[in-house]
Amino acid sequence: MKCHLIPNSEKCERCVRKALDCTFQQHRRGRKLGMRLSTSHSAKQSNEEGNNESDSREQSDSDRPYGFWADPDGFNPPSLLNRHASKGNFSLQNILSTNIEAPKKPTSGEISASAPRSPGDPITKGIINMAIAESLFEGFMKNLNPYVCQLDPTLHTFQYVRVKSSFLLTAVLAAAAKLLNPSVFSPLRDHAERLYMEVFRRGLKSPEVVQGIMLLTYWKEPDDTRAFVNVGIAIRICHDLGWQKLQAQDLKSMSEERAREIRSMERTWLVLFVYDRSISMQTGKPCMIERSRFIESIDDWLKSPFGETDGLLAAFTHLRLLTSELPGLLKPADDTSSPPSSRPLLRLLKEQIGGWRRRWTQATTREPRHQFLVQYYADHTLLMLYSGPLQASLSSKTGPLDLEPFWVSYNAAIGILRLVSSREVAGFVYFVQDSMHVMLAYAAVFLIKVYFFRAGREWHYVVTNRHSSYCCQSLEP
């Protein structure tokens, strides 16, 4: 029997009498599979007019019983499974269900001083007071952020970050405290680690989470060995959020805050691309982020009206794209052989790096710190590029020393040491991230090792020749 709804009642008389679930569906006779149906709501009596009104609404895809099965949109896993599962909500429930609605995203609005704080706020918990927190945040944006290109000075105000993410706020304060106020570094670092564990346990995913993880890898303790793993976790979160499919968007039609939030997400993805390639180059481990049309269109991305502070990031992206065009040249070789066919490619890449240095040195004249980083990374890339052929030449027991890789790598290492010892940039080295110190140490150790290895080889050659000459003379009649 049909259920006939009556006014001012959620159940019909029959279902009330028999204690049944009252459900009413229109008949489907003569309808094609997947057709949209309109459902009448329960009639409600108006208090003012005393009339019964009925509202009808068109059912969404998740409400239609046959909508999912009638959808012709692909049969591969990303299309066949629930779309929400591929956008940061990959769970058993989202994969198997066709009726789960998309999680509601918080609307972007003006952040006020009375806005609710994110859980774990270090100020609310008494780890640090407001005055010191604001001072550290200002110090980070002024002295540390220009080296990592992570946060937008216009968007990421103290109040904005405090409301958005306690994890990101604590990571910022801990990084600043390590260099500007060491007395509060330990409690802030410990709290940031606790929040990181909570983020990982709950599976939270957002641009602020990724930015917080990256900040924990820039300025860390000397015995912390988690940088490679943490960067991998950050990249996986971005993959789960679908950032590998980022495309250029028209930000002019949006509000400034919303446009800057999207720009922040794109900036974080580009920073991760540079970071991923840098770690791969230094450690010889595989990279995780592939080149894409969005990354390759970095020049167009820089032209945005919101890209006033993104020049250095664009330069680094260009450099990593440049070196990724010749795979294998910047990775440690498994053997000591140097294929002759790679020498013309090395020379071509060397010229391109020189052009990159000239272009971005000129483009960063207004920011001495960025100009310093351009020179630094150019020399370091040349050092890494020619260290492989030099190793092959020094390991060879026969034949003369290959002078080209020797002089290029030698001049690059000397250039790094000369750059950091100059009076103009001596103050910059204190604030740079840990990876810069690794590059500096590599250049210094490289020069020392080359000197002693070459000296030992020449001494061994002289001693061997003298011994051979003495033996020959003793054998003469």
| 3-state secondary structure at position 38 | strand
Q: What is the pLDDT of residue 402?
A: 81
Interatomic CA distance for residues 350 and 322, integer angstroms: 10
Helical packing angle, 368-395 and 311-324, nearest 10°: 20
What is the per-residue burial (b if ≥16 Cβ within 10 Å, else e) of 60-81?
Answer: eeeebeebbeeeeeeeeeeeeb
Q: What is the pLDDT of residue 403?
A: 86
Interatomic CA distance for residues 332 and 336, integer angstroms: 10
Residue 468: φ, ψ to 5°: -65, -40
Q: What is the pLDDT of residue 410?
A: 93
Q: What is the pLDDT of residue 333?
A: 43
Q: What is the pLDDT of residue 125?
A: 94
The candidate with the shortest Cα–Cα distance to 214, out of 149, 263, 289, 117, is 149
Q: What is the pLDDT of residue 161?
A: 96
Q: What is the pLDDT of residue 430?
A: 93
Interatomic CA distance for residues 436 and 438, integer angstroms: 5
CA dihedral (302, 306, 311, 312) positive or negative: negative
Q: What is the pLDDT of residue 311?
A: 95
- 271 to each of 189, 197, 231, 344, 436, how far by Cα in Å? 23, 23, 11, 30, 15
Q: Where are the domains of the chain?
A: 340-458
Interatomic CA distance for residues 3 and 12, integer angstroms: 6
Please state the separation of Cα 414 from the chain's center in Å.
Answer: 31
Q: What is the pLDDT of residue 301?
A: 95
Structure tokens at 226: 């988690």
| 3-state secondary structure at position 58 | strand
pLDDT tens digit at each of 477 positions of the chain: 566 666 666 667 666 665 566 665 555 555 555 555 444 444 444 444 444 444 443 344 444 445 555 555 555 555 555 555 555 556 666 655 555 555 554 443 344 444 556 679 999 999 999 999 999 999 999 999 999 999 999 999 999 999 999 999 999 999 999 999 999 999 999 999 999 999 999 999 999 999 999 999 999 998 999 999 999 999 999 999 999 999 988 888 899 999 999 999 999 999 999 999 999 888 888 899 999 999 999 999 999 999 899 999 999 999 999 988 655 555 544 444 445 557 788 888 999 999 999 999 999 999 999 999 999 999 999 998 898 888 877 777 666 778 888 899 999 999 999 999 998 888 899 999 999 999 999 999 999 988 887 555 553 443 334 433 333 333 233
